[in-house]
């Protein structure tokens, strides 16, 4: 009699799984490894391209690769092939690259770039209004920065939060020359911290108001889903007013303007309602007073038809500030010994005077401001870094170009802007990432976008396609065609910052950061290197880390978002809507 050994069902299952593993391994061995995952070695605009725009991808360490393919995602079918450029190198990125130019592809759809031996890029879209969602998110980023109110789920989704910093009883710091308490509610948190700053708030408003003044119909009531939506006024104006209302509280009775409203030092990485240390109105100076005068004069124009009474309040405040600044034209702000929050330092107020005089002249048509403008010699060569001190004269120039009839002032401005735009376009064509910034400082992404803003003005003066292409390629850099491979706007792109230096994003318990906030970008100075382990000998363009402690490279800030708002709005208006 034979004896039989019973086979366990678990043994059968084990054999079956082993067979499947061997089969899959054989399949993978016959499949090029680069086809399994997206690669960071192909840098593209991860948000997407307009059908008629320039379209380029950067292939890093391409080796002997000479060709590329564009693959339609749903069917994984090749729709276009092309030759890679010759090898290019750029020391600031520490890379050798080749360029894939697929500008000829204009059919809407979802695509990837494929290079044999390297792999597939992250996906991207081609469609007519491809940057519209990013534009609206960048504007709504300011809503998420609102102080003095809770953010309700209906408007903030999972990033809802409780009310913090009502600022209805804040102390006057001795540096103001005043004592006691006052009320200064509303306004936007400046950055990753909970301070409110006149200089940077006014500057950021100025950039976004320039967009509104040029393209007033692009953002309608209800477009942003904010608490004021449905009131019959553009959501963009509603967001401006939330900051303007706070700015108006920062003016002293004599017309001068206080510098900031902060605690004595930065709060920890906690939610707004948990940052409860006393808050102070601090300092007074020429810079905040002039920036205030400029943006309130601009607001008087913008709100004239919407709310004439409010517009008149803004204009009176602006003229009072101008008068004070003329009598106090060299009052430099420095942090008092017991204050360690942001200083936004500047000691040359020529550009601030120019911006204020330009806005006041356009709004009032007064010879007083026109004559003052004629006495100021302004250099329109772009300077990277500290845009709140180095870029506001461009906002004044935009106001003059937009509103003046043909006259010598306007003609000189046009020539100056065209000359600088031509220089910037030439620079952008000279490097492997097609953008004109070579000095990567704190907030370099805003520097890059500010150059695009200058070139955009050249396009409005003279609609040469080379200007529009340059603005588009600079935007590509921000959205992933850069040496880090990241799309720097939170919530957009396949590879996007997850650990921005931003207190609510750190403390709210939500895995994703607050959306629509622009990371500062590469910063070769690495002021936070005592807290952040950058790669050894990191190239300037790679001095960026997606880490919460990296305040020098991965913080967010109003004036970085405002530059993005202008550039994205310009592209949507000049490309998608035409």
Please state, in angstroms and rounded to a whole number, the distance separating the CA atoms of residues 523 and 525: 5
**Nearest residue to 461 via CA among 422, 424, 434:** 422
Give the active site residue among 501, 528, 548, 574. 501
Please state, in angstroms and rounded to a whole number, the distance separating the CA atoms of residues 171 and 485: 45
Please state, in angstroms and rounded to a whole number, the distance separating the CA atoms of residues 328 and 480: 45
Is 122 designated active site? no
Please state, in angstroms and rounded to a whole number, the distance separating the CA atoms of residues 514 and 491: 8
The backbone torsions φ and ψ at residue 152, rounded to the nearest 5 degrees and listed phi first, read -80, 150
Is 555 designated active site? yes
Please state, in angstroms and rounded to a whole number, the distance separating the CA atoms of residues 42 and 122: 8
Is 546 designated active site? yes
Dmax of the chain from CA atoms? Answer: 120
Mind spelling out the 3-state secondary structure of 191-247?
ECCCCEEHHHHHHHHHHHHHHHHHCCCCCCCCCCCCCCCCCCCCHHHHHHHHHHHHH
Structure-block tokens of residue 41:
């070695």
Mind spelling out the 3-state secondary structure of 262-275?
ECCCCCCCCCHHHC
Is 193 designated active site? yes
Give the active site residue among 34, 133, 508, 546. 546
Residue 515: which region, alpha, beta or left (left: phi > 0; alpha: psi -120 to 50)? beta
Q: Name the percent of the chain in helix, strand, coil, to the closest 5.
A: 40, 15, 45
**Nearest residue to 100 via CA among 115, 116, 122:** 115
Please state, in angstroms and rounded to a whole number, the distance separating the CA atoms of residues 545 and 557: 16
The backbone torsions φ and ψ at residue 259, rounded to the nearest 5 degrees and listed phi first, read -85, -45
DSSP 518-560: B-----TT-TTTTTS-PPTT--GGG-----TT-TTTSB-BHHH
Give the active site residue among 95, 167, 193, 238. 193
Give the active site residue among 476, 555, 572, 574. 555
Q: Which residues are part of the catalytic machinery?
A: 193, 501, 546, 555
């Amino acid at each position: 009699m034979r004896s039989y050994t019973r086979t366990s069902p678990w043994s059968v299952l084990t054999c079956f799984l082993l067979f499947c593993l061997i089969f899959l391994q054989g399949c993978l061995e016959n499949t090029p490894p680069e086809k399994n995952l997206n690669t960071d070695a192909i840098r593209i605009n991860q948000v997407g391209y307009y059908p008629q725009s320039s379209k380029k991808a950067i292939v890093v360490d391409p080796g002997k690769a000479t060709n590329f393919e564009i693959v339609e995602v749903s069917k994984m079918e090749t729709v276009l092939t092309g030759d890679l450029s010759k090898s290019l190198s750029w020391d600031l990125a520490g890379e050798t690259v080749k360029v894939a130019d697929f500008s000829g592809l204009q059919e809407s759809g979802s695509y990837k770039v494929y290079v044999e031996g390297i792999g597939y890029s992250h996906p991207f879209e081609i469609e007519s209004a491809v940057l519209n969602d990013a534009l609206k998110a960048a504007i709504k980023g300011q809503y998420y920065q609102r102080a003095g109110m809770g953010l309700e789920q209906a408007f903030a989704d999972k990033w809802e939060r409780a009310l913090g910093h009502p600022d209805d009883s804040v102390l006057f710091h001795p540096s103001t020359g005043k004592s006691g308490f006052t009320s200064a509610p509303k306004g936007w948190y400046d950055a990753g911290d909970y301070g409110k700053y006149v200089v940077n708030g006014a500057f950021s408003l100025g950039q976004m108001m320039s967009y509104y003044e040029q393209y007033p119909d692009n953002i309608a009531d209800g477009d942003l889903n904010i608490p004021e939506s449905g009131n019959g006024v553009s959501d963009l104006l509603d967001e401006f007013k939330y900051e303007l209302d706070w700015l108006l509280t920062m003016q002293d009775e004599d017309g001068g303007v206080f510098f900031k409203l902060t605690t004595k030092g930065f709060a920890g990485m906690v939610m707004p309602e948990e940052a409860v240390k006393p808050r102070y109105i601090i300092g007074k100076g020429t810079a905040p007073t002039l920036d205030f005068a400029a943006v309130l004069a601009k607001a008087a124009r913008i709100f004239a038809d919407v709310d004439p009474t409010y517009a008149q309040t803004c204009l009176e405040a602006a003229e009072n500030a101008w008068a004070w600044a003329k009598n106090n034209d060299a009052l430099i702000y420095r942090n008092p010994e017991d204050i360690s929050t942001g200083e936004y330092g500047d000691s040359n107020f020529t550009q601030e005077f120019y911006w204020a005089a330009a806005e006041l002249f356009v709004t009032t048509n007064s010879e007083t401001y026109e004559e003052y403008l004629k006495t100021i010699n302004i250099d329109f060569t772009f300077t990277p870094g500290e845009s709140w001190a180095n870029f506001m004269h461009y906002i004044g120039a935009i106001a003059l170009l937009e509103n003046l009839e043909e006259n010598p002032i306007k003609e000189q401005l046009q020539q100056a802007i065209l000359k600088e735009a031509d220089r910037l376009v030439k620079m952008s064509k000279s490097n492997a990432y097609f953008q004109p910034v070579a000095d990567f400082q704190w907030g370099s992404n805003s520097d890059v976008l500010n150059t695009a803003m200058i070139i955009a003005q050249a396009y409005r003066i003279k609609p040469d396609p080379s200007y529009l292409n340059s603005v588009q390629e600079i935007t590509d850099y921000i959205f992933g065609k850069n040496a880090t491979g990241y799309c720097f706007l939170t919530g957009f792109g396949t590879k996007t910052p997850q650990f921005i230096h931003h207190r609510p994003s750190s403390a709210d318990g939500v895995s994703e950061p607050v959306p629509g906030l622009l990371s500062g970008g590469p910063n070769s100075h690495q002021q936070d290197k005592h807290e952040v382990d950058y790669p050894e000998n990191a190239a300037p363009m790679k001095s960026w880390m997606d880490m919460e402690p990296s305040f020098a490279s991965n913080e967010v800030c109003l004036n970085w978002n405002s530059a993005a708002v202008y550039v994205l709005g310009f592209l949507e208006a000049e490309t998608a809507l035409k």
